[in-house]
A and B are shown apart, each in its own frame.
Chain A
Amino acid sequence: MLEVADESPERLYALLEEHGWGDGLPIVFPTEARVERMLQGYPGPVDEVLAVLPPRSGAATVKTVAVNAVMAGCPPEVFPVVVAAVRAMGQPQFNLQSVQATTHAVAIMVAVHGEIVEKAGYNAGNGTFGPGWRANATTGRAIRLILLHVAGGRPGDGDASTQGQPAKYGFCFAENTAASPWPIYPRSIGIDAPSAVTVAGTEGPHNSHDMWSTTPQPIFEKMATVMATLGSNNAPMPEAEFFCVLCPEHAAQAASAGWSRRDVQLFLFDRARLPWRMWRDHFDWRYRESPWATGVTDPEQLMPIMGSPDLIKVLVAGGPGKHSCVIPSFGSMALSVTMPVETW
């Protein structure tokens, strides 16, 4: 147990500094009463290990996760999402060891889907990625605190990120189901649950702006150019994922032209390309092992940045306006995980 003479910001900052904890922002002190409130109604044992988190091999028990959720300022309503996100980060295909230890700027994107969005007060509308909503802000922050404290991913010691990025403070948004013309994202990948959460190791959102076009093609041609760049980790790894988060208006334009989610994926796969000579010249080593590039001889042949349209994850979030975004990933060695959120 920890003991502090008082809960003043100065005292709590001193405590964090003494232990090497925290993200640099003020915290809520995790008293027994606050942690109990966070855990209230949890249907299982609170010492259940949700995941063992590298590189520290920290045991993320329900209770320890609740402690960090309190510190982050989470309202109890979002705790089921935090629990599911921790379970998801522990899945082998997420490869948290590498996500934590890389020099890449990878942050952990948390996308919230379904009934829990409204129930827990997530903002799926204007500024869903940004500040101003406690549920979004504290869920993302709780995940980062868990990665810092339980997993041991301190910058320079467990987290080797060369520069880091702002999304490492917290990166949580909500799918805008009501404004989406297509089924909820988890259903598109075979998960049929009232609520779900997706975690992915990613860069931050890259804007894709089009307020002029009246047909979907130019909107997604612009988006394709945001994807087909040489500097992201997707470039040397054709098996890496992209998240394309469409604003409701871009999605509506696509749907009104008869496009399905699959049509968006196929169009982007067709257009997010560069001449083979550019891939070859910049990433020669990648083509020694990439079967999809075998047999390509024309240096001007356009080759996609990703090996399959299935790697383009399409969902809708945000409010009015004509700004969508592309979220490149950490790479092919760490894939996104979507899990149902069990509520209580």
Chain B
Amino acid sequence: MVSRGFRPDGTTTAQQHSLAPVRRVLGGARIAVLDNNKPNAGLLMVSVAETLAARAGGPTPLVLGKNAALPAPDEVMAQIRAEADLVLTGSAD
């Protein structure tokens, strides 16, 4: 006998976000790293940022940190928006 029932997932309130436009030319770009402060995350991302900055002729990368388990503070996000054209972020354990 056919049975009908409810979905268990319900609706989502998630908003759609789109990625920022990709910067196609890195020349002179201001690069930032948003480090989640887990072991090795900063090591990897700062190395990549420094390599990119050296190749692209940009300033020394801006390195900012955040708690891995919490969103970045508003002031950190504001500084990134004001002072960076490209941000490297990610997580690591």
Contacts and interface: CB of A to CB of B under 8 A. Distances in A.
Interface of A: 1-7, 19, 21, 29-32, 34-35, 52, 56-61, 63-64, 67-68, 71, 95, 98, 102-103, 145, 149-150, 152, 162, 285, 331, 333-334
B21 interface: no
B6 A63 contact: yes
A61 B1 CA distance: 29
B73 interface: no
A57 B5 contact: no
Given A32-B5, A57-B13, A162-B93, 7 more contacts: A21-B9, A32-B4, A56-B14, A58-B12, A95-B70, A150-B10, A333-B67
Interface SS majority for chain A: mixed
B8 A30 contact: yes
B25 interface: no
A196 B10 CA distance: 26
Contacts of A334: 69
Nearest to B11: A59
B8 A68 contact: yes
Given A95-B69, A103-B93, A333-B67, A61 B10 contact: yes
A98 to B, nearest CB: 4
Given A98-B69, A102-B69, A333-B69, A30 B6 contact: yes
B24 interface: no
Contacts of A52: 13
Given A98-B69, A102-B69, A103-B93, A5 B8 contact: no
Contact of B3 (A4, A60, A162): A4
A98 B67 CA distance: 11
A2 B6 contact: yes
Contact of A333 (B6, B7, B70, B93): B70
B13 A64 contact: no
Contacts of A21: 8-9
Nearest to A22: B8
B71 to A, nearest CB: 8
B2 interface: yes
Contact of A6 (B1, B10, B15, B67): B1
B10 A59 contact: yes
A314 B48 CA distance: 48
A331 B70 CA distance: 12
B1 A30 contact: no
Contact of A150 (B1, B3, B9, B67): B9
Contacts of B67: 333
Contacts of A56: 9, 12, 14
A149 B3 contact: no
A2 B5 contact: yes
10 contacts: A3-B3, A5-B2, A21-B9, A30-B6, A61-B10, A64-B6, A102-B69, A162-B93, A333-B67, A333-B70
A313 to B, nearest CB: 20
